[in-house]
Amino acid sequence: MVFSSILFLWVLLPVILFCYYLPMPHLSAKVHLHIRNFLLVMFSLFFYAWGEPKYIFLMLLSVLLNYVFGLLIESRSKKGILMAACVAANLLLLGYFKYFNFLVEIWNQLAGNAGLQLSVRTVALPIGISFYTFQALSYVADVYRGENRAQKNLLYMMLYICFFPQLIAGPIVKYHDIEQQIQERKVTVQEFSYGIKRFIAGLGKKVILSNTFAQVVDSVFAYQPVDISRSLLWITAALYMLQIYFDFSGYSDMAIGLGKMFGFTFQENFNLPYTAISIRDFWRRWHISLSSWFREYVYIPLGGNRKGSVRTYVNLVTVFFLTGIWHGAGWTFIVWGLYHGFFNILERCFLGKWMGKGKWNILEHSYTLFVVLIGWILFRAPTLSYGIEYIRYLFLPHEGILLAERFMNLKTVLLTLIGILGSGILQGLLNRKGIRLASQGRISFVGMAGYLTVMWLSIMLLVNNTYNPFIYFRF
């Protein structure tokens, strides 16, 4: 189940909110909170089980595994061995379900005709396994480093891992950021209303904008690059930039909004990444929860930038290799990650000396968008060879039979312009006047009309169109 579905919007969410805020005047605040936590866990398990009921046991195994390891690491002396065993157990679960067939294919290619080939199995990818595995690992790592006490309440641990707003697509929530909220929280009218606004804003991003761009992108990528005109190749690449941003940031907005409705504050996951003026700046703005996770639990423990330039570059390559493979089992993701790592190193070596000075913002911004656009082609391509061919034909004159006029109707053109404006231009203009979109505080009549319009349009599109893809659903 996803948030941008009629079933969730009209059935599950109203039921959850009704049960969560059902008055219980004769109970103490502490008991009331325990009941609310239990309700959230039960509804979260139902939410996850709706799509893949058999994999709910895998998620519960992950919860129990890390709960036990947290207790053992806190109480035993050989913390390093226990931590290593915990990391290995988590990565083995993640590796089997996400990377088994990819590794088998690599092995078979290396084995050649030696008769050592392995058979590929049908291993389905459990929804959200990368997200909840990383959340679980951050909890155990915090206990290992002494930043948090081990959680002895299994219900609290289940709520941390299984909480449905961030369960299947983040943002990745670190345990030390949410521990206090699990045990004590209140919801004000202002926070609840902000949660509704943030959810509607995310829903509009996903349904109105991203889904429209996705229809064009998916249709074009069904053809070979040589058959696609150069203009359509560039347009499709730009549309995918918009699609993946509004898809993922929209889902993050919905998750943050839902969290607010139940008294939780999640980390922001996006900060207008297409306004970045360098690749390093881009990664400070894109998928912030993943970037900060790798920085805190991988990059810094490896030594960060404290052990000389060469070691820093090795650490960066390691982090971006892991970032790529975290997104999926395929060479396209690995090359995409290393590609971004290469430009991060390039900027540290010499490009950064001329960047961020305030004199060349247009050139810096253009460079960043171009690098990101090329990277997204590799990310979206079904195979690495397809991605390379796509990039080659962006610059190679050819007579493609598939023309832009076939896909770019008036609706798509208008929404593309709105998407471009909404990627940072509009926010920048409004910020200069002290106005922020989907902000906390009172809402004007015009603002309320705007949110209701976005909600109405989103629901109408969901009712009349079954095309509702979600990019990060498989990560």
Taking residues 14-34, report their average pLDDT: 88
Band (61; pLDDT cuts 50, 70, 90): very high
Q: Of 351, 348, 302, whose CA–CA distance to 322 is shortest?
A: 302
Q: Of 165, 127, 379, 123, whose CA–CA distance to 263 is shortest?
A: 165
Lowest mean pLDDT among 99-113, 204-218, 453-467: 99-113
172's CB contacts (< 8 A; 6+ apart) are 131, 134, 135, 138, 166, 289, 290, 293
Residue-wise pLDDT tens digits, 289-336: 999 999 999 999 998 888 888 899 999 999 999 999 999 888 999 999
Q: What is the rounded CA–CA span in Å between residue 12 and residue 196? A: 15
Band (434; pLDDT cuts 50, 70, 90): low
Query: Residue 104 has what pLDDT?
Result: 82
Lowest mean pLDDT among 108-122, 143-157, 271-285, 359-373: 108-122
Taking residues 267-276, report their average pLDDT: 93
Taking residues 425-433, report their average pLDDT: 80
Q: What is the rounded CA–CA span in Å between residue 176 and residue 62? A: 19
Q: Residue 465, Cβ neighbours under 10 Å: how many? A: 12
User: With contact defined as beta carbons under 8 Å apart, do 85 and 72 qualify?
Assistant: no
Q: What is the rounded CA–CA span in Å between residue 292 and residue 284? A: 8
Residue ranges per structural domain of the chain: 6-185, 191-277+356-474
% of the chain with per-residue pLDDT over 70:
93
Q: Of 86, 438, 474, 42, whose CA–CA distance to 270 is shortest?
A: 438
Residue-wise pLDDT tens digits, 171-180: 999 888 888 9
Query: Residue 115 has what pLDDT?
Result: 61
Joined together, the tokens standing for residue 169 give 């697509």
Residue-wise pLDDT tens digits, 325-362: 999 888 999 999 999 999 999 998 877 666 666 556 78
Taking residues 142-163, report their average pLDDT: 92
Beta bridge partners of 402: 228
Query: Residue 194 has what pLDDT?
Result: 92
Check whether 424 has a pLDDT greater than 90.
Answer: no
Query: Residue 356 has what pLDDT?
Result: 62
Query: Residue 318 has what pLDDT?
Result: 95
Band (386; pLDDT cuts 50, 70, 90): very high
Active site residues: 327
Band (473; pLDDT cuts 50, 70, 90): low
Q: What is the rounded CA–CA span in Å between residue 94 and residue 104? A: 15
Band (260; pLDDT cuts 50, 70, 90): very high
Query: Residue 359 has what pLDDT?
Result: 56
- Report CA 431 to chain centroid distance, whole Å: 26
Query: Residue 235 has what pLDDT?
Result: 96
Which of 298-302, 364-368, 374-378 is predicted most confidently?
Answer: 374-378
**Mean pLDDT over the full length of the chain:** 89
Check whether 187 has a pLDDT greater than 60.
Answer: yes
Band (213; pLDDT cuts 50, 70, 90): very high
Taking residues 247-269, report their average pLDDT: 94
Taking residues 214-234, report their average pLDDT: 94
Helix-strand-coil split of the chain, %, nearest 5? 70, 0, 25
